Structure 1
Amino acid sequence: MGNGEGPTLITSVQRAFRLMEAVGAHECGAPAKQLARETGLPLATTYHLLRTLAHDGYIRKLNDGGFVLGEKLTTLHAGGRGQALLSRVRPALAALRDELSAAAYLTFYEDGEIRVAEIVDGPRAPRVDLWVGFEDAGHATALGKCVLSELDDEARDDYLARHPLADLTPRTITGRAELLRRLGTTPLTPAVTDMEEYALGTFCVAVPVYSGETLGALGVSLRADRIARINEIRNRLIPTAGRVTRGLSLTI
């Protein structure tokens, strides 16, 4: 154990937070000496913490020597907001899982990629083995194809130009023309399916959702021998997707 001399790690963290609070109180920035006075920190300690926080992106030094909050805090805030939004819709996903005995998935199209935001599964509703990332399997999953079907031509062409139509199972659609034809003729609209195209023995159904302007998809995966329930699944997914979209679109 230490001898008690010098600041502890907790004290250093507390000082760093106090310093960031002081920086945040000055929209146009404040110099190190002023921040030291406002926080009651020694000037040397203030300089050291400012250099460390600036190096990690939590604050930014202006040309005039003042300090303002950095982009790293904006990223943290956005991540926290995203988690808060997801917490609103997890009960709807859990209810969907329990009613259909199927794992529920939520994906979004962000920065040109299809990304999984949430999976709600359980012992009686195991998730499919994600042996290929969703970013590279949009053509083979109901969630991915649902997103692709909702994109405009330019965005869809951009995605397909960057992602080869890999042959994941014998049922995977690997021809661009055939994929586009299937996307335009989905009999369960707005629901989209994949029939063992991503993983043998599994079929999935997905419908579109939105988080503000961000497009996404809500879906479930089931064993292939439960395909007879497909209309029931579609009819359960659609109202749940509406509730998820409303929950994600509420401001925090």
Structure 2
Amino acid sequence: MEKKVLKIGQISDAHIGDDDRLVQDIDVRKNFLTAYNSESMKDLDLLVLSGDLADNASTDAYSFIAGVIKDSKVPVCIIPGNHDNLEVMEKVFDLKDKVHNGKCYYRYDLDGRSIFFLDSADGTVSSDQLSWLEQETAKIDGEVLLFLHHPPCLCGHKFMDLRYSMKNIAEVQATLSKIKNLKHIFVGHYHSEMTIQLEDKTVYVTPSTQMQIDPNITVFCLSSAAPRWRLIEWGENFMETKVYFSNTP
């Protein structure tokens, strides 16, 4: 019997501040709520928060997010980004069995399918994680999905590629190329919507609910303060994904 199409929401780079004050003149809490409460996020099977949940890794920022998602009707999977602090996150979120040697990485099974999450918060994916990913995906016959914060490739984003790209891209790509049942990788970090072909895999860069950065110039330039987020529909031999956005921040 054909498995159901899973509906997955992805929110990335919320950069929630310590309190209600604006972050870089942006109401990031309002932006996060706009994404979370949008019609496109109704009837999900899973919600993924893919890093940079907080701007300064404060307990209050994480507590705001925890307060929003506590009544979620679906599971919520969380990974840290470079602005996050995993030790603080562990005090606020239930990350039991998801943190190993100071890194947050894990496999989540849903309706007979497997989704993998890696920790690139320090700008790298550790060799321990890569070995684990290769071993775990080999145990699975069907297709898997992967989420992490940093793109495992350069993306043609002139500002982010130059300053904030993943530090061990070659090592990560060498492992990914071995995993033949992985075709779709979802990331954040770049504050832009981009789709990159990496050999037989597609990397989907999900924009931010905080703000978007102009990818066409080498210096920082805000292109929008309106939130954006992603919806993923994943079935057997089927993948459809769309970025949604609000016109007003």
TM-score class, shorter-chain normalisation, is 0.3 to 0.5
**Higher-Rg member (1/2):** 1
**Structure (1/2) with the larger helix percentage:** 1
**Structure (1/2) with the larger strand percentage:** 2
Higher relative contact order (CA 8 A, sep 6+): 2
TM-score, normalization by structure 2 = 0.34
